Amino acid sequence: MLALLEVLAGKAQSLEIEVLGKEGEGTEFALMINGVPHWHQVKLTGRWSISQLRTKGVLDHWWAKIQSGGFFEFVCRAGAEEMDELIKRASNAESWAAFDASLVSDTQRNRFIQLCAAWQASSGEAAYEALRKSAVHSIDEYKLIELVEARLASLVMGLSHIAAGELARLIDESPHRRLTADYAWDWLSRNGVRQKPRTPLGTPPRLLLASIASLLMIAGGGIAVGLVLTSPSYVNLSTGPSSGISVATIGKACGNTPQNGLRSPAATRFSAISLAYSQVLDGNDIRVYQGTYNGKSYDWLQSDITGSLAEARLTWYMPPHFKYAYWCNLSIPDKPIRTILAQVATVAIPTLIDDKEITFKACVWHSAPFSEKCSSILP
């Protein structure tokens, strides 16, 4: 994930996961930086002394990747201190002679001799140069999550854990594919995540805010629409019995009705109803409403039956991590279900569950040919 963020931030040109053929052997992915491949091997279990790295064949691939003109980066939770120390000594030494002189203890020199033998280096200087094209990264899972979300917060609009989920899905679906910044940003945009505008240096705050407002106005009607709409035609929407609303069956993926406090717009009279989002796709319109019941706020997805067949979905996310996502699907039929029912809706989701703020994403699509429009992340 961090490697892909380097691409999104413009610090790397591309990321290729599971590179095919002999070129990619012994590595998980290659990050292209300034035209040079940085090969990454990831080992999240065990301890990795120089002896163990040699036994498991890691050092063979390490040396081969550097000799072919690349860099090699080893990622582990812990246990690669021996290689890490040699790499840091080589990086800090201005020359081979300075590095050689820094190996003052028998232990340090024996480890370097062991590494030279494993690499079958032609000389100690050749191994020193290879160490200067190497890195060891020790990671902690929880700190990694915090780092990913912090970096995403500087790159995307909305909640960073939502963007992390979409990037994780992109990575899972992209083995053997070279991912560029344009490709990744396009993926995020199609899934409702928008790039945060970069602040031009020296721009007065007032002019900057005006520029951002203009960008938001231009974005309206695109795939990643994120504006809150307040069309007067929906101010007095009625819910509850005799409202003409049919609610879709609640599947397991949509949530647990008693546990999550889900409510049916066909049976509940919400008050203070406002429109949070609206989208039209080839005659099919979807709307995300927000209303109040017993002092609690709820969101639900609703559509008119206009004679055009389509599918829609309201996805809701519970923090702290992107993996807590639920999908409430909605079929939009091409004719009324019964004479008086001209609207269909999903179940209504509380905007606060277990004191945690819920966020939403709405999509509408149809097949033959396939076409889809989605919102950005809605608060």
In DSSP notation, 73-138 reads: EEEESS--HHHHHHHHHHHH-SSHHHHHHH--SHHHHHHHHHHHHHHT-SSHHHHHHHHTTEEEEE
Spatial neighbors of 296 by CB under 8 A, at least 6 apart, are: 261, 350, 351, 352
* Cα separation values, 44 from 5, 75, 79, 327, Å: 20, 8, 10, 32
Residue 53 has, within 13 A of its CA and on its CB side, a CA count of 29
* Nearest in space to 226 (alpha carbons), one of 217, 235, 214: 217
Output the pTM of the full model: 0.55
The pLDDT confidence band at residue 76, using thresholds 50, 70 and 90, is confident
Helix count and strand count (H, E) for the chain: 12, 19
> What is the predicted pLDDT for the residue at 221?
31
Q: Average the pLDDT over 238-263 and give the result.
A: 86
> What is the predicted pLDDT for the residue at 141?
65
The CATH class of 2-154 is alpha beta
Give the number of other CB atoms < 10 A from CB of residue 336: 15
The mean predicted confidence, pLDDT, of the chain is: 81
Q: Is the pLDDT at 142 greater than 70, yes or no?
A: no
Largest Cα separation within the chain, whole Å, is 90
Give the helix, strand, coil percentages of the chain, each rounded to 5. 35, 30, 35
Best-predicted range by mean pLDDT (77-91, 100-114, 299-313):
100-114
> What is the predicted pLDDT for the residue at 208?
31
Q: Tell me the torsion sign for CA atoms 247, 249, 254, 257.
A: positive
Q: Where in the chain is the domain with CATH 3.40.1350?
A: 2-154
Q: Where in the chain is the domain with CATH 2.60.40?
A: 232-375
User: Residues of the chain with pLDDT > 70: what percent?
Assistant: 83
- Separation of alpha carbons 111 and 90, rounded Å: 13
- Separation of alpha carbons 272 and 295, rounded Å: 10
Q: Average the pLDDT over 309-324 and give the result.
A: 76
- Separation of alpha carbons 127 and 125, rounded Å: 5
pLDDT, tens only, 331-355: 888 776 554 456 889 999 999 998 8
Pair 285, 225: CB distance under 8 Å:
no
Q: Average the pLDDT over 279-307 and give the result.
A: 86
pLDDT, tens only, 149-175: 778 878 888 767 778 888 888 888 888
In the block, residue with structure tokens 């060891």: 136
The pLDDT confidence band at residue 7, using thresholds 50, 70 and 90, is very high
Best-predicted range by mean pLDDT (9-13, 54-58, 228-232, 365-369):
54-58
Structure-model confidence comparison of residues 48 and 334, the more confident one? 48
The pLDDT confidence band at residue 375, using thresholds 50, 70 and 90, is confident
> What is the predicted pLDDT for the residue at 210?
31
Q: Average the pLDDT over 35-50 and give the result.
A: 91
The pLDDT confidence band at residue 226, using thresholds 50, 70 and 90, is very low
> What is the predicted pLDDT for the residue at 252?
82
> What is the predicted pLDDT for the residue at 230?
31
**Burial (0-12, 13-18, 19+ Cβ within 10 Å), 154:** exposed
Architecture of domain 232-375: Sandwich (2.60)
